């Protein structure tokens, strides 16, 4: 299907399900509830639009409850494809009959989502006896072509927007579509999802907060993934969890803690945190933990974005709106030359009304509206690489609202960010950075100096001679300072060694004065020189 044909299909779906009322038009004459009509339309439009519905379903503060409840069915209740096709895909990928691969295989899918569906199975041991219960995830047949069609349509709409929309410069729709394409392409490779699951499992193995299943690589291919079957209660079954006495405040706070630690401690976060992917281990109701599935979408940030985000969050938590404004300018998120004072005042206007209030008392719809107004005024540049993090944070907030509407998001997150900043600036972290950076710098400096000298030698007349003299003086100063630095490091090492010997080493009291005296003499001698 061409992009033009796809656009016509979208328009026809919009009309067929009477969706004009969602854009302020007259109410539809279709007797079905509006949420059901919207869900059916998104299902008919395919995986990209289903993903949009999944994200909206977690925000009942923005989307009316009747629509959010209906869209929640998109999370893992998309119509399945026939089990015979699933069996054929598995056998083609693994090269053996399904009955030879597994001791048992459930033809009825456990869940069907936008790009894949999941079947229960039991592995077969070497002696033929039943082994570990597993889940078998299979990509929908032809899904790659369908995603490519929607991406082509999105590019067409983005190009139109870049040409005609006054908001295009700020929103950068082409860059956002490119980022979304990258995310969806990764999600269609189940080998990559398996690798994501393995890394998350290593990062959190032994944690009381969350558990990640084992991947069975011998049974995994780009379109088939076999993982340990976890036993938990869906986060959607709130009444059941409540009946078991689960502490929802602990559960909500742990969800926030997991998100911020994944983002800042690990720099590798699960970026598809809708309720269909989250289960609860309620064996200890007072300290419930999470069980995660579906690792097709994950996110990472550059070190600069990590630091800027952490500093922004901490500045928000401390009501330091001046620092928030400065960080936005420094990071290039708003144009250079923007009045820091004006931006500081705008941010204060948005944030003060929501400060230290529980989620249930905050209108995030109003908050986002004001934020967009400020963004438009200051020509805010949308960062495509941060779109995934922003979406995940919205999902975490939406989940927190459903679990415990008194959740203090700021109180939960602030200690995590403060600890992360302390760890980054600790002597151990700085030493580790120096361990890797100094050898690279040492190798690069001679090349830089040589290249610079060649460039200066190309100069003519007095200017060239002056430049060469300046260059020679610069190189001499660098060498002199280098010698001084080496001697200072030696002196400092002797002084520190003396202190450590005195404090820690057996018999250190005899050796420490020698090291201390040598360090002091070296330091004094070099200072006089």
- Catalytic residue list: 272
Placement of tokens 């660098």 in the chain? 478
Q: Are 453 and 467 in contact (CB under 8 A)?
A: no
For residue 257, give the nearest of 337, 246, 266 by alpha carbon. 266
Q: Are 335 and 379 in contact (CB under 8 A)?
A: yes
Placement of tokens 């927190």 in the chain? 400
Q: Are 18 and 29 in contact (CB under 8 A)?
A: yes
Q: How many CB atoms lie within 10 A of CB 252?
A: 24
Token pair, residue 337, equals 């030359």
Where do runs of H (alpha helix) occur along 362-506?
364-377, 384-403, 409-425, 427-457, 461-503
Give the span between the Cα atoms of 69 and 221, in whole angstroms: 35
Angle at 72 between CA 31 and CA 392, to 5 degrees: 140
Local structure of 79: helix, strand or coil: coil
Placement of tokens 């889940």 in the chain? 135
Placement of tokens 């495509």 in the chain? 384
Q: How many CB atoms lie within 10 A of CB 17?
A: 21
Give the span between the Cα atoms of 344 and 325, in whole angstroms: 5
The two beta strands, 210-211 and 289-292, are parallel
For residue 385, give the nearest of 182, 187, 185, 148 by alpha carbon. 182
Token pair, residue 153, equals 């349509």
For residue 354, give the nearest of 414, 416, 409 by alpha carbon. 409
Give the span between the Cα atoms of 361 and 221, in whole angstroms: 47
Local structure of 300: helix, strand or coil: coil
Q: How many CB atoms lie within 10 A of CB 350?
A: 17
């Amino acid at each position: 299907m061409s992009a033009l044909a796809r656009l016509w299909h979208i328009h026809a779906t919009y009309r067929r399900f009477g969706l004009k009322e969602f854009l302020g038009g007259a109410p539809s004459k279709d007797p079905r509830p509006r949420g059901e009509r919207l869900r059916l339309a998104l299902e008919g439009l395919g995986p990209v639009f289903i993903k949009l519905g999944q994200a909206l379903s977690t925000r009942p503060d923005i989307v009316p409850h009747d629509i959010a409840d209906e869209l929640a069915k998109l999370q893992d209740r998309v119509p399945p494809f026939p089990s015979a096709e699933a069996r054929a895909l598995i056998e083609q990928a693994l090269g053996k009959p399904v009955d030879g691969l597994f001791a048992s295989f459930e033809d009825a899918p456990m869940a069907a989502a936008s790009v894949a569906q999941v079947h229960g199975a039991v592995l077969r041991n070497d002696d033929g006896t039943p082994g570990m219960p597993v889940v078998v995830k299979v990509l929908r047949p032809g899904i790659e072509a369908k995603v490519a069609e929607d991406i082509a349509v999105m590019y067409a709409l983005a190009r139109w927007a870049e040409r005609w929309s006054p908001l295009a410069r700020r929103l950068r729709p082409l860059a956002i579509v490119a980022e979304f394409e990258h995310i969806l392409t990764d999600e269609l490779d189940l080998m990559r999802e398996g690798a994501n699951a393995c890394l998350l499992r290593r990062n959190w193995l032994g944690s009381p907060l969350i558990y990640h299943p084992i991947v069975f690589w011998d049974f995994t291919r780009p379109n088939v993934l076999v993982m340990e079957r976890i036993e938990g209660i869906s986060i959607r079954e709130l009444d059941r969890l409540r009946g078991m006495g689960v502490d929802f405040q602990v559960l909500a706070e742990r969800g926030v803690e997991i998100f911020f630690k994944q983002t800042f401690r690990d720099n590798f976060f699960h970026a598809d945190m809708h309720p269909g992917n989250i289960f609860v281990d309620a064996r200890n109701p007072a300290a419930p933990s999470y069980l995660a599935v579906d690792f097709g979408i994950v996110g990472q940030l550059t070190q600069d974005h990590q630091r800027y985000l952490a500093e922004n969050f901490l500045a928000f938590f401390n009501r330091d709106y001046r620092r928030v404004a400065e960080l936005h300018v420094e990071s290039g998120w708003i144009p250079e030359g923007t009045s820091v004072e004006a931006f500081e005042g705008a941010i204060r206007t948005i944030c003060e009304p929501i400060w230290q209030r529980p989620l249930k008392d905050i209108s995030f719809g109003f908050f986002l509206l004001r934020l967009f107004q400020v963004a438009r005024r200051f020509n805010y540049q949308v960062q495509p690489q941060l779109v995934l993090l922003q979406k995940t944070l919205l999902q975490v907030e939406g989940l927190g609202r459903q679990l415990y509407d008194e959740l203090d998001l700021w109180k939960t997150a602030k200690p995590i960010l403060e600890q992360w900043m302390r760890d980054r600036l600790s002597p151990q972290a700085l030493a580790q950075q120096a361990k890797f950076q100094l050898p690279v710098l040492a190798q690069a400096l001679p090349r830089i100096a040589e290249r610079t000298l060649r460039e200066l030698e190309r100069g003519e007349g007095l200017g060239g001679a002056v430049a060469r003299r300046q260059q020679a003086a610069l190189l001499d100063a660098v060498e002199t300072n280098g010698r001084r630095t080496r001697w200072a490091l030696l002196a400092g090492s002797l002084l520190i060694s003396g202190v450590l010997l005195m404090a820690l080493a057996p018999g250190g009291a005899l050796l420490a004065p020698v090291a201390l005296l040598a360090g002091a003499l070296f330091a004094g001698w070099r200072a006089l020189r």
